[in-house]
């Protein structure tokens, strides 16, 4: 009986946070699965949606719009080194296997299907894999290790990021109450990268076009976000992700201007210019609830 209780403790914790006043990271039991690629489609001109399925998706859990999985890739010599299940966690071999983190864009518990939207760019490991992937390909998926549960108690929501953050922003806009108010800012190359979003009527979506500027450069995103005026006396929740340097000004903004409590914002570097496998948790020493999946 105790095993069953332990397995479902995270569901109770999620329910508690949802019923509370502040957002909180909640960890889930972490599995590793060998899954099949069952579908491939472009979403706008910048995201490749890879739909994963197969028998091993049974028991997969998804509870938070910004949760991620790790796709595990063979080493340059062709060997595949995998973590091993260890209770509700994974034990990772040393050195750590080659992997990349991606947001769970959608999970359908009825079919087991999992959508991963991959931002395509030149010379990226997962991007190269995505270019060559086909229906029938297989890949190992670890996680999700947990996610940020945001109670629907805020007066306004500010969501911001580049195309790497777009899958999480799209999912959060879908999952917000239809009465929610706020802003979503997404920096993309051009209008071809814009996608359909299911935003509540009260959430203003603003696409920022980067044009010829290299990805991860310029201050247009930070300028647009920090120009927002939160009405006096209202509670706001801020979520931002993208290139670490570009979103850095938003850390100062939530701390110094908005003066938000720790549980009222989440700002995460998803990547860093010139760094192949950037890990924001290790860079900032933040406990983002991802610790179980990261190299234990």
pLDDT of residue 294: 31
State the Cα–Cα distance between residues 155 and 234, nearest whole angstrom. 6
| Residue 171 CA from chain centroid, whole number | 9
User: 41-50, pLDDT tens digit by residue?
Assistant: 999 999 999 9
User: 56-111, pLDDT tens digit by residue?
Assistant: 999 999 999 999 999 999 888 888 999 999 988 999 999 889 999 999 999 999 99
**Closest to 209 (Cα-Cα) out of 227, 225, 228, 185:** 185
Start-to-end C-alpha separation, the chain: 27
CB-count burial class (<10 Å; 0-12, 13-18, 19+) for 97: buried
Mean pLDDT (whole number) for 251-267? 96
Q: Look at 102-106, 228-232, 259-263, 282-286 and tell me which has the smallest mean pLDDT.
A: 282-286
Neighbours of 226 (CB within 10 A): 17
Tokens 């009222």 correspond to what residue?
A: 264
- pTM for the complete prediction? 0.90
Cβ neighbours for 212, distance < 8 A, ≥ 6 positions apart: none
User: 138-162, pLDDT tens digit by residue?
Assistant: 999 999 999 999 999 999 999 999 9
Q: Which percentage of the chain shows pLDDT scores above 70?
A: 90
Per-residue burial over 58-79, b if 16 or more Cβ lie within 10 Å, else e, is: eebbbbbbbbbbbbbbeeeeee
pLDDT of residue 280: 62
CA angle 151, 161, 114 (to 5 degrees): 65
**Closest to 254 (Cα-Cα) out of 241, 265, 268, 263:** 265
State the Cα–Cα distance between residues 84 and 193, nearest whole angstrom. 38
Domains of the chain: 31-146 (2.40.30.10), 148-284 (3.40.50.80)
Q: Are 22 and 126 in contact (CB under 8 A)?
A: no
Mean pLDDT (whole number) for 151-180? 97
User: 199-225, pLDDT tens digit by residue?
Assistant: 999 999 999 999 999 989 999 999 999
pLDDT of residue 273: 85
Q: How far is CA 244 from CA 28, 48, 135, 237, 294, in A?
A: 26, 23, 33, 20, 19
- Residue with the bigger pLDDT between 122 and 189: it is 189
State the Cα–Cα distance between residues 28 and 205, nearest whole angstrom. 31
pLDDT of residue 288: 34
Q: Are 176 and 151 in contact (CB under 8 A)?
A: no
pLDDT tier for residue 126 given thresholds of 50, 70 and 90: confident
Report residue 170 as tokens.
């799209």
State the Cα–Cα distance between residues 104 and 290, nearest whole angstrom. 14
């Amino acid at each position: 009986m105790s095993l069953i209780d332990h397995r479902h403790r995270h569901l109770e914790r999620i329910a508690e946070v949802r019923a509370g006043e502040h957002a909180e990271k909640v960890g889930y039991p972490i599995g590793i699965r060998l899954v099949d690629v069952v579908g491939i489609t472009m979403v706008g001109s910048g995201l490749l949606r890879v739909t994963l399925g197969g028998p091993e998706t049974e028991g997969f859990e998804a509870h938070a719009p910004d949760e991620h999985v790790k796709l595990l890739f063979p080493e340059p010599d062709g060997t595949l080194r995998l973590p091993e299940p260890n209770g509700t966690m994974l034990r990772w071999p040393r050195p750590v296997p080659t992997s990349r983190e991606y947001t769970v864009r959608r999970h359908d518990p009825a079919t087991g299907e999992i959508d991963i939207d991959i931002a395509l760019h030149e010379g990226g490991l997962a991007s190269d894999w995505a270019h060559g992937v086909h229906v029938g390909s297989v890949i190992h998926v670890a996680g999700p290790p947990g996610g940020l549960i945001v109670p629907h108690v805020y007066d306004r929501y500010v969501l911001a990021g580049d195309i790497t953050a777009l899958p999480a922003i799209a999912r959060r806009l879908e999952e917000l109450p239809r009465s929610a108010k706020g802003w979503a800012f997404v920096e993309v190359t051009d209008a071809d990268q814009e996608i359909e979003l299911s935003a509540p009527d009260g959430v203003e979506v603003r696409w920022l076009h980067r044009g010829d500027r290299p990805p991860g450069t310029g201050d247009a995103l930070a300028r647009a976000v920090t120009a927002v005026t939160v009405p006096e006396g209202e509670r706001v929740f801020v979520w931002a992700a993208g290139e670490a340097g570009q979103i850095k000004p938003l850390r100062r903004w939530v701390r110094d201007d908005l003066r938000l409590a720790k549980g009222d914002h989440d700002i995460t570097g998803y990547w860093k210019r010139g760094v192949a496998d950037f890990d924001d948790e290790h860079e900032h020493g933040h406990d983002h609830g991802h610790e179980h999946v990261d190299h234990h």
